[in-house]
């Protein structure tokens, strides 16, 4: 890796495609002039948009392909038939050492399946997780898994706890991040067997973070811990429920300010404060799902985001590379595994 960071970009992904990914890349370049972009996609579609961003043009190379993965494509089909797709070629660039990371706003399932197959997991990591950062009362929380694994045994939950703790430490800057396991009660006797076993392991090993205990759904937005670990089914539903309720609150508020002339005036006066508040929870600033645990950096942007949101996903990728996240994970694993063989006998594969 040179001092320059090379990002392989699947420019065809996302609802707005090149009209979002290319402006997003141009925006990221303003913050980090040391990024080089490999733009994977249809040259004829890329060129006219790229020509509007002369700075980006000098930092970008187009790798043409006219194939891309639809959002409705099944992961298995994408694996089989998408070998020449923009997404797949961008992932290949990372495995071939031509890029430091891959960023896509395309089909999540296809991206995960391809990235898993091409990049493989880090040594000793059994499964990659999708992680993301969410706003809390006084800061931010890292949550994983958000949908990569329906079921997670205790060993996988422990590994996700380590990944989350390292992320919170090296990227979020928390000195000793607290880690909570998402459960339906904070008492030790509650929840699945897998959770109780994972809790027992996290209590006895020493790692980058500090095991806090079981946390419940409301602990996520309250920021009780720096990291929340759960299986991909529960995590995905918790994340989307949170997004939905945040949207509902904002709809209710809009209705309230429209409900009377006095309320409208009040809303007008409070507008700057409300905009500041909205910015604090703007999903675009939390965009960028990290595929943690892969031997290569892969970041997934929301498909429906805009150039600001997409540039944030690029920022997330940049942070992971700049902070050598994967090297830190390798060290963490060595440290934890050196202490004690904490890996349980449970290695059920899906």
Cα(293)–Cα(212) distance, integer angstroms:
22
* Of 28-36, 40-48, 86-94, 237-245: span binding its own copies (CB under 8 A): 237-245
What's the DSSP call for residue 228? E
Max Cα–Cα distance, the chain, nearest Å? 67
* Of 119-127, 172-180, 202-210, 248-256: span binding its own copies (CB under 8 A): 248-256
Q: Could you tell me the smallest distance in angstroms from the CB atom of residue 302 to its own copies?
A: 13
Q: Taking CB under 8 A as the rule, does residue 51 contact its own copies? A: no
Q: Taking CB under 8 A as the rule, does residue 237 contact its own copies? A: yes
Nearest CB to its own copies, comparing residues 221 and 337: 221
Q: What residues between 190 and 209 interact with its own copies by CB under 8 A? A: 191-192
* Of 12-20, 130-138, 153-161, 320-328: span binding its own copies (CB under 8 A): 130-138
* Of 41-49, 90-98, 129-137, 327-335: span binding its own copies (CB under 8 A): 129-137
Residue 153: what are its φ and ψ, rounded to 5°? Answer: -80, 180
Q: Taking CB under 8 A as the rule, does residue 1 contact its own copies? A: no
Q: Taking CB under 8 A as the rule, does residue 289 contact its own copies? A: no
Nearest CB to its own copies, comparing residues 216 and 322: 216
Residue pair 214/181 in contact by the 8 Å Cβ criterion: yes
Cα(111)–Cα(105) distance, integer angstroms:
9
What lies within 8 Å, CB to CB, of 310 at 6+ separation is 14, 20, 21, 23, 24, 25, 27, 105, 287, 301
Q: DSSP strand E in 42-119: where?
A: 60-64, 101-104
Q: Choose, by CB under 8 A, the member of 61, 265, 327, 347 that binds its own copies.
A: 265
Q: Could you tell me the smallest distance in angstroms from the CB atom of residue 254 to its own copies?
A: 10
Q: In whole angstroms, what separates CA 252 from the centre of its chain?
A: 29
Nearest CB to its own copies, comparing residues 1 and 256: 256
Q: Taking CB under 8 A as the rule, does residue 244 contact its own copies? A: yes
Count of residues interacting with its own copies (CB under 8 A): 63
Contact map string, positions 7 to 46, toward its own copies, x by CB under 8 A: ----------------------------------------
The terminus-to-terminus CA distance of the chain in angstroms comes to 35
Q: Among candidates 322, 267, 269, 311, which has minimal Cα distance to 288? A: 311
Q: What residues between 56 and 85 interact with its own copies by CB under 8 A? A: 72, 74
User: ∠ CA 106-112-113 to the nearest 5 degrees?
Assistant: 110
Nearest CB to its own copies, comparing residues 236 and 311: 236
Q: Could you tell me the smallest distance in angstroms from the CB atom of residue 249 to its own copies?
A: 4
Residue pair 134/226 in contact by the 8 Å Cβ criterion: no
Beta strand 129-135 with 101-104: parallel, antiparallel or unpaired? unpaired
Centre a 10 Å sphere on the Cβ of residue 126 and count the other Cβ atoms it contains: 16
Q: Choose, by CB under 8 A, the member of 218, 338, 345, 349 that binds its own copies.
A: 218
Centre a 10 Å sphere on the Cβ of residue 313 and count the other Cβ atoms it contains: 27
Q: What residues between 163 and 192 interact with its own copies by CB under 8 A? A: 182, 184, 187, 189, 191-192
Query: Sign (positive/negative) of CA torsion 129, 135, 136, 140?
Result: positive
Q: Where are the alpha helices (DSSP H) in 171-298?
A: 193-204, 219-222, 232-258, 261-281
- By the criterion CB under 8 A, which residues form the site for its own copies? 72, 74, 135-137, 147, 150, 182, 184, 187, 189, 191-192, 216-222, 230, 232-234, 236-253, 255-257, 259-260, 262-263, 265-274, 276-277, 280-281
């Amino acid at each position: 890796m040179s001092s320059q960071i090379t990002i392989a970009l699947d420019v065809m992904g996302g609802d707005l495609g090149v009209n979002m990914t290319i402006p997003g890349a141009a925006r990221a370049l303003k913050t980090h002039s040391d990024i080089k972009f490999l733009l994977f996609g249809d040259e004829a579609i890329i060129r006219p948009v790229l020509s509007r961003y002369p700075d980006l043009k000098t930092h970008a190379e187009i790798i043409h392909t006219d194939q891309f993965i639809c959002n409705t494509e099944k992961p298995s089909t994408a694996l089989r038939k998408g070998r020449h797709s923009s997404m797949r070629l961008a992932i290949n660039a990372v495995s071939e050492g031509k890029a430091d990371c891959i960023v896509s706003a395309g089909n999540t399932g296809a991206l995960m399946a391809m990235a898993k197959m091409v990049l493989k997991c880090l040594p000793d990591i059994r499964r990659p997780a999708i992680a993301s950062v969410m706003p809390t009362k006084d800061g931010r929380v890292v949550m994983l898994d958000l949908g990569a694994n329906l079921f997670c045994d205790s060993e996988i939950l422990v590994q996700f706890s380590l990944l989350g703790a390292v992320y919170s430490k090296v990227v979020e800057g928390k000195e000793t991040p607290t880690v909570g396991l998402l459960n339906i009660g904070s008492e030790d006797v509650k929840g699945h067997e897998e959770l109780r076993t994972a809790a027992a392991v996290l209590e006895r090993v020493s790692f980058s973070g500090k095991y806090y205990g079981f946390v419940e759904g409301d602990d996520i937005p309250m920021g009780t811990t720096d990291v929340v670990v759960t299986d991909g089914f529960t995590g995905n539903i918790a994340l989307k429920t949170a997004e939905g309720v945040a949207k509902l609150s904002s709809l209710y508020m809009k209705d309230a300010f429209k409900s009377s002339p006095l309320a409208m005036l009040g809303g007008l006066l409070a507008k700057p404060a409300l905009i500041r508040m909205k910015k604090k929870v703007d999903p675009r600033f939390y965009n960028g799902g990290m595929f943690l645990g892969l031997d290569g950096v892969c970041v997934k942007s929301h498909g429906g985001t805009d150039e600001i949101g997409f540039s944030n996903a690029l920022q997330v990728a940049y942070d992971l590379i700049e902070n050598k996240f994967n090297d830190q994970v390798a060290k963490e694993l060595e440290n934890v595994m050196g202490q004690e063989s904490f890996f349980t006998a449970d290695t059920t594969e899906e």
